[in-house]
Amino acid sequence: MPHRSEDLIERGAQIERPLQEAELILGYYQSKGLRVETKKDHSPVTVADREAEALIRTNIVREFPGDGAMGEELGTFPSSNGFNWILDPVDGTKSFIHGVPLFGTLIGLEYEKRLVIGVCRFPVLNEVVYAQEGEGAWWQSGNGHEQPARVSKVIRPSDALFCITTISGFERIGRYETFEKLRKSVKLTRGWGDCYGHALVATGRADIMVDPLMNPWDAAPFVPIMQEAGGHFLDWSGRPTIYSGNGVSVNDALKQGGRSGADTRGRRTRDALVVLEVGVALVLLTGAGLMIETMAKLRAIDLGFRPDHLLTLRTPQGSLYDEPVKALQFQQRVLDRVRALPGVEAAAYASTLPFQSIGNSQGYRLEDVDKDLNFSPDALYRAGSWNYLQMLRVKLREGRFFDGSETPTSQPVIIINETFARHYWPNRPAVGHRISIDGAQVKWRTIIGSIRL
C-alpha cells in the first residue's frame, strides 16, 4: 500500500527543524572528560552516541508512534505502519573523539523497504545535506540560504577527486589492489571519509566516494540524497541498497563510464569498478551454492531453544549505572514498560544471547570434585532474568527452572547446561551439587537444574 503524500510531507518537515541532538553532541565535543568505550566489533562509542540516539528515538515515538527505528547503538524496534527510521547519531566517532569536525548525524527513513528521506548533518560545521523523494536534494552551510545539492559534472576519471575513509578497509576485504587501481586512475585521492566523503559527492565537491565496509545506518541517507542530487549510491554489484556491507557514491557521468572523452586513466577507473562488481558477484555466486547446502543442514540442528517470535534489543547502561542496585532498578523499569506493550507475551534481560559471543567466561570450583585450590577451570557464564530460559523455550533436562523466588538474600542457586552436567556427573544427577564462581571468595551455589543449550 503506497504511503499518503501528507505522511511523507509531515515526516520530511522534521528534517528542516533545528535538531536538539546537534546541541547535545556539541556539548561533548572536544571534552577532556569524555569517556570512550570499545564495542565488541572494536569500534569506539561514547555517551554522546547513546544519548543522541535516545533523544532522536524519543522524538520519533512522540511524533510518529507507529514508526519503527533501527540504530547503531540501541538496536531495533519494529514498525506497525511501514515507516522505519535508520539512525547513526555520530557517524565518524573516531573523528569525534579526536576533536576532528568531519563527523555527522545520519537519519534515513524507509517506507516499505524503500528509502524516501535522507539527512546528513554536521554539528560542528553547521552544515546539512538532505533529500526527500521527488522533492530534490538540498544543502545548507552555516547560516546561509539553502541551495540545491547537485553532483559534479566531471566526466573524465583523470579529473576526478576520489575519497576514502581508510586504506585498511580495502585490505581487510582483500581489495587493496582495487584501491590502487582507482587511486592511479584519478586526479586526486583524499581521506575525507565516513559520511563527509559521501556528502562531498552529493554537493559536487568530490566525484567518487568508496566505502568497502558499511552498516545500514552508515549508508541509509545517501540513497535518496544521491538520487535526488543526480548521482548514485550503489553497492559494489551496482544495486541501490544499504544492506550489502559496502557502498559507492558517484556522479552519473563516471557511473556511466565517461563515454564522452575516455582516456587511459578512465579505462583504468572503469576496470577497477568492474573488478569490484565482478569480484563481489563471483564470491556471492560461488558462496550461494554452498550456503544453500549449509542452510539446509543448519535448519535440521536442534539449537536447544526456539528463536522464532523473538525480538532483541540492546540497552547499554554500564557507564550510566555503575551500582548493581541501580542497574537492576533500571532493568526492571524497562521490562515493566516492554511487558505492557500490545502483543508482548514475555520480556527478560540477559547478559549475552545464545551463540552471540564467546566472551564472559568465568572460573569455577566444584565442591565435591575439585580439591586443588590453586587450579580453577573456566566456563562460559551468563546472567539473566528469572524467566529468561522459559521465554526462549529452552528444554529442561533435569531439575527445575528459576521461578522468581530467588533474591540476593536467599540461598544462591545456578543452572548448568547438559554438556557441563555430563562432563562431571555422566551417570548421576547434577542437581543438588554445589559450584562456586566467585574466585578467591568461595560462595557455593546449589545446582537446581540442567538444560539442553
Residue 360 confidence (pLDDT): 60
Does 279 share its domain with 361? Answer: no
What are 117-173's pLDDT values in tens digits? Answer: 999 999 999 999 999 988 899 999 988 888 999 999 999 888 999 999 999 988 888
Residue 306 lies in a domain: no
Does 190 share its domain with 334? Answer: no
> b or e along 105-143 (b: 16 or more beta carbons within 10 Å of the residue's beta carbon)?
bbbbbbbeeebbbbbbbbbbeebbbbbbbeeebbbbeee
Of the residues 247, 278, 294, the one at which a domain ends: 294
Residue 404 lies in a domain: yes
Does 268 share its domain with 337? Answer: no
What are 168-191's pLDDT values in tens digits? Answer: 988 888 888 888 888 888 999 999
**For residue 445, which of 348, 389, 327, 362 has the smallest C-alpha distance?**
362
What is the Cα–Cα distance from 2 to 23, expressed in whole angstroms? 35
What is the Cβ-side half-sphere exposure of residue 12, based on CA atoms within 13 angstroms? 21
Quote the radius of gyration of the chain (alpha carbons, Å).
26
Residue 316 lies in a domain: no
Does 111 share its domain with 199? Answer: yes
Does 260 share its domain with 332? Answer: no
Q: How many domains does the chain have?
A: 2
User: Over 60: is that where the pLDDT of 433 sits?
Assistant: yes
The CATH number that applies at residue 60 is 3.30.540.10
What is the Cα–Cα distance from 365 to 436, expressed in whole angstroms? 5
**Lowest-confidence segment of 41-50, 154-163, 260-269 by average pLDDT:** 260-269
Residue 304 lies in a domain: no
Q: Which three cell numbers stand for residue 160?
A: 576526478
Does 261 share its domain with 344? Answer: no
What are 101-127's pLDDT values in tens digits? Answer: 999 999 999 998 899 999 999 999 999
What are 80-101's pLDDT values in tens digits? Answer: 899 999 999 999 999 999 999 9
Residue 135 lies in a domain: yes
pLDDT band at 209 (very low <50, low <70, confident <90, very high): very high
| Per-residue CA distances from 415 to 78, 400, 408 (Å) | 32, 9, 16
What is the Cα–Cα distance from 303 to 298, expressed in whole angstroms? 9
Does 282 share its domain with 351? Answer: no
User: Over 70: is that where the pLDDT of 270 sits?
Assistant: no
Does 395 share its domain with 285? Answer: no
Q: What are the residues facing 445 on neighbouring strands?
A: 435
Residue 20 lies in a domain: yes
Percent of the chain with pLDDT over 70: 79
User: Over 90: is that where the pLDDT of 361 sits?
Assistant: no
pTM: 0.60
What is the Cα–Cα distance from 431 to 363, expressed in whole angstroms? 20
User: Over 70: is that where the pLDDT of 448 sits?
Assistant: yes
User: Over 60: is that where the pLDDT of 336 sits?
Assistant: yes
SS (H, E, C) 171-221: HHCCCHHHHHHHHHHCCEEECCCHHHHHHHHHCCCCCEEEECCCCHHHHCC
| DSSP count for the chain of H helices, then E strands | 14, 22
| Per-residue CA distances from 213 to 57, 96, 210, 273 (Å) | 25, 19, 9, 16
Does 241 share its domain with 373? Answer: no
Residue 259 lies in a domain: yes
User: Domain range holding 47?
Assistant: 5-294
Residue 322 confidence (pLDDT): 62
Does 65 share its domain with 162? Answer: yes
Does 253 share its domain with 369? Answer: no
Residue 294 confidence (pLDDT): 61
User: Over 90: is that where the pLDDT of 202 sits?
Assistant: yes
Of the residues 275, 294, 313, the one at which a domain ends: 294
37, 45 Cβ separation under 8 angstroms: yes
Of the residues 247, 275, 294, the one at which a domain ends: 294
Does 34 share its domain with 99? Answer: yes
Residue 235 lies in a domain: yes
Q: What are the residues facing 151 on neighbouring strands?
A: none
Mean pLDDT of 441-445: 78
User: Over 50: is that where the pLDDT of 442 sits?
Assistant: yes
Residue owning grid cell 550503489: 234
